């Protein structure tokens, strides 16, 4: 080792000794012990913080959620758990595990019960943002936990660091999201919220172990205790590796979505924006049931774009993105220049001639359809993998409500709650009352066979391929394949079983659906012709 390296090592050891010497172990342990006591006051404050967070999530209010983070006392027991992890103190370990377990169970149960009785159950942006944790959430929690444990040990800037740590780690809102998911029976939201909490929890424990170990909180252990400690750390590292896999995948997906949105925006601007004529205001996009990217763009323009220009833009966007695109453009005509300039042109205001009735009706219909298209994109994200395949808009002279008929590809009817939510969203976007009718269309139409046939036709195979796109969107779907037959006894039943086998083979081999996610059944149903029905019975939003 060179003299420079030896000198650096000596300086580092001296600095470490100095840091450890400045610590008051007794005061730190007293703080840790105060955090593991189970009291009614602690659970009262935790419940209040939980309900504040839930209200903020439902109302989509970031300031309210931040207030809940500051009120929540859950960070203390987690830091105590990390302390017990590195020191091997069984008393602190047992009490902190019990307190954290009770806290998590109570928080989820209270949030679920409050959500169940709440009239508002809309999935807001604040809720969705906490259902897809990624690797950055793990890093943030690790850094924040390091700051919190260091503040406890050194007592430096304690009053300013601890609130910041509470906001950065945000351990209570994810539990409220998990409870919200349980309250509306959404496994996806429950899983996403709990995964974010668990990610924060593991990262905080690891960082506190590192900090407490750095400041010398390590006691001498017997060989068996040391072995148990090594097993604990090995288990914690294994858990960290396991949860990192979905976090990395989510981060990759988020980056891909950002890149796709940026590419779409660049392509739209390149195709639709013209200097001193038109400007892209906003846009939304989604992949429809046919696998085609459908883009809805709102353009402010001085002079309307013609159909030929929008068709040309659609072609150029598809070429730029390298895929088939359907472009829907809503144009808002704007005034070029300022108001003073317009007044100066004429002292007497010009009276515009009345529009023909046909033009008024056409303009109103186009505006209503454009708004419903924008709303349909938002509805599709909530009812996925179901999709709105078509819709119609109508008006009634005896009612101020807009009559809207939605055709949704879905094998089970929407719940009253989902229908109410969609109706409320359409009414808010249109700023008019809405009379909503929902018609469901099966993903795969019934496959009707001739009495003595069991081979699938080309048309049947094409119909079944709809499940391939559906499974790609939602790998959690479960299918029910049911074969019915008329009279015919044993021979008819055998043919029905063969039809079932052929359909299941296509679903497994061509569509990629695992066999364990396909339930089958057969039975007699005279006088109907032999039929096989494929139904999607479960999925992320069912």
How far apart CA 133 and CA 195 sit, in angstroms, is 7
Residues 6+ apart with CB under 8 A from 455: 502
Give the CA count within 13 Å in the CB-facing half-sphere of 90. Answer: 4
| Over residues 271-291, mean pLDDT | 80
Does the pLDDT of residue 383 top 70, yes or no?
A: yes
Cα Rg of the chain (Å, integer): 31
Q: For the chain, what percentages of helix, strand and coil (3-state, to nearest 5) are there? A: 60, 15, 25
Does the pLDDT of residue 352 top 60, yes or no?
A: no
| Segment 212-248, tens digit of pLDDT | 777 666 554 444 555 666 677 777 778 777 877 877 7
Residue 122 pLDDT: 84
Share of the chain above pLDDT 90, in %: 9
| Over residues 2-27, mean pLDDT | 58
Q: Is 452 exposed, middle or buried (0-12, 13-18, 19+ CB in 10 A)?
A: exposed
How far apart CA 468 and CA 454 sit, in angstroms, is 22
Task: Read off φ and ψ for residue 227, nearest 5 degrees.
Answer: -65, -40
Residue 114 pLDDT: 94
| Over residues 473-480, mean pLDDT | 82
Q: Which 8-state DSSP code applies to residue 457?
A: P
The alpha-helical segments, DSSP class H, found in 395-437 are: 416-430
Does the pLDDT of residue 155 top 50, yes or no?
A: yes
How far apart CA 81 and CA 92 sit, in angstroms, is 7
| Over residues 258-275, mean pLDDT | 83
Assign 109 a pLDDT band (cuts: 50, 70, 90).
Answer: very high
Assign 190 a pLDDT band (cuts: 50, 70, 90).
Answer: very high
How far apart CA 171 and CA 336 sit, in angstroms, is 51
Does the pLDDT of residue 1 top 60, yes or no?
A: no
Does the pLDDT of residue 346 top 60, yes or no?
A: no
Query: Of 169, 205, 175, which is closest to residue 190 (Cα–Cα)?
Result: 175
Mean pLDDT of the chain: 78
- Per DSSP, the residues of 308-377 read HHHHHHHHHHHHHHTS-EEEEEEEEE---S-HHHHHHH-SSPPPPPPPPHHHHHHHHHHHHHHHHHHHHH
According to CATH, the topology of domain 369-441 is GMP Synthetase; Chain A, domain 3 (3.30.300)
Residue 160 pLDDT: 43
How far apart CA 149 and CA 212 sit, in angstroms, is 7
Sheet arrangement for strand 518-524: 447-448, 531-538, 478-485, 518-524
| Over residues 141-170, mean pLDDT | 61
Map residue 532 onto helix, strand or coil. Answer: strand
**Architecture category of domain 447-538 in CATH:** 2-Layer Sandwich (3.30)
| Segment 505-534, tens digit of pLDDT | 988 888 888 888 888 888 777 667 888 888
Instruction: Assess whether the previous peptide bond of 527 is cis (omega < 30° from 0).
Output: yes
| Segment 166-182, tens digit of pLDDT | 555 568 889 999 999 99
Does the pLDDT of residue 542 top 50, yes or no?
A: no
Residue 69 pLDDT: 82
Q: What is the bridge-based pairing of β-strands 293-301 and 278-287?
A: antiparallel
Q: Are 169 and 204 in contact (CB under 8 A)?
A: yes
Residue 359 pLDDT: 63
Lowest mean pLDDT among 23-32, 130-139, 220-229, 251-260: 220-229
Task: Read off φ and ψ for residue 391, nearest 5 degrees.
Answer: -155, 160
Residue 44 pLDDT: 93
Domain residue limits, the chain: 15-219, 369-441, 447-538
| Over residues 476-489, mean pLDDT | 80
Q: Which 8-state DSSP code applies to residue 516?
A: G
| Over residues 308-314, mean pLDDT | 85
First to last CA, the chain: 66
Residue 400 pLDDT: 67
Query: Of 455, 453, 487, 471, which is closest to residue 536 (Cα–Cα)?
Result: 471
| Over residues 371-383, mean pLDDT | 75
- Residues composing the chain: 542
Share of the chain above pLDDT 70, in %: 78
User: Higher model confidence: residue 470 or residue 218?
Assistant: 470
Residue 351 pLDDT: 57
Token pair in block for residue 191 = 């899983």
Residue 105 pLDDT: 94
How far apart CA 165 and CA 525 sit, in angstroms, is 64
């Amino acid at each position: 080792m060179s003299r420079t390296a030896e000198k650096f090592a000596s300086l580092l050891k001296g600095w470490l000794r100095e840091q450890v010497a400045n610590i008051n172990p007794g005061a730190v342990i007293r703080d840790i012990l105060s955090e593991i006591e189970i009291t009614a006051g602690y659970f009262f404050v935790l419940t209040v913080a939980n309900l504040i967070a839930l209200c903020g999530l439902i109302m989509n209010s970031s300031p309210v959620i931040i207030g809940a983070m500051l009120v929540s006392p859950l960070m203390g027991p987690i830091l105590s758990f990390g302390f017990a992890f590195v020191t091997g103190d069984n008393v602190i370990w047992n009490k902190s595990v019990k307190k954290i377990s009770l806290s998590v169970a109570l928080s989820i149960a209270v949030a679920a019960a409050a959500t169940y009785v709440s009239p508002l159950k809309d999935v807001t942006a604040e809720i969705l943002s906490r259902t897809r944790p990624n690797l950055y959430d793990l890093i943030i929690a690790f850094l924040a936990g390091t700051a919190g444990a260091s503040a406890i040990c050194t007592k430096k800037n304690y009053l300013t660091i601890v609130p910041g740590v509470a906001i950065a780690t945000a351990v209570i809102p994810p539990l409220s999201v998990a409870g919200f998911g349980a309250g509306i029976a959404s496994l996806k939201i429950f899983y996403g919220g709990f995964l974010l909490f668990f990610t924060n929890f593991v990262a905080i424990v690891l960082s506190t172990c590192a900090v407490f170990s750095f400041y010398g909180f390590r006691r001498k252990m017997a060989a068996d205790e040391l072995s148990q400690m090594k097993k604990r750390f090995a288990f914690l590292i294994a858990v960290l590796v396991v949860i990192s896999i979905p976090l990395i995948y989510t981060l990759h997906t988020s980056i891909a979505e950002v890149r796709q949105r940026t590419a779409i925006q660049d392509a739209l601007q390149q195709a639709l924006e013209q200097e001193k004529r038109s400007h892209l205001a906003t846009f939304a996009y989604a992949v429809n049931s046919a696998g085609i990217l459908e883009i809805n763009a709102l353009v402010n323009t001085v002079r309307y774009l013609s159909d030929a220009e929008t068709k040309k833009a659609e072609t150029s966007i598809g070429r730029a993105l390298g895929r088939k695109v359907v472009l829907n453009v809503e144009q808002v005509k704007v005034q070029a220049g300022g108001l003073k300039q317009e007044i100066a042109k004429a002292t007497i205001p010009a009276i515009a001639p009345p529009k023909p009735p046909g033009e008024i009706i056409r303009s109103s219909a186009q505006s209503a359809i454009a708004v419903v298209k924008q709303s349909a994109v938002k509805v599709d994200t909530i009812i996925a993998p179901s999709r709105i395949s078509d819709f119609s808009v109508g008006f009634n002279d005896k009612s101020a409500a807009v009559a809207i008929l939605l055709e949704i590809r879905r094998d089970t009817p929407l719940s009253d709650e989902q229908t109410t939510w969609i109706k409320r969203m359409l009414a808010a976007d249109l700023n008019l009352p809405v009379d909503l009718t929902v018609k469901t269309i099966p993903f795969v139409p019934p496959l009707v066979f001739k009495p003595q046939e069991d081979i699938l036709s080309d048309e049947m195979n094409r119909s079944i391929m709809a499940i391939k796109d559906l499974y790609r969107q939602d790998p959690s779907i479960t299918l029910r394949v049911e074969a019915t037959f008329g009279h015919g006894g044993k021979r008819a039943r055998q043919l029905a079983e063969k039809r079932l086998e052929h359909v299941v083979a296509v679903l497994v081999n061509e569509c990629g659906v695992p066999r364990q996610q396909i339930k089958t059944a057969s039975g007699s149903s005279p006088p109907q012709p032999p039929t096989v029905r494929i139904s999607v019975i479960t999925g992320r939003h069912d």
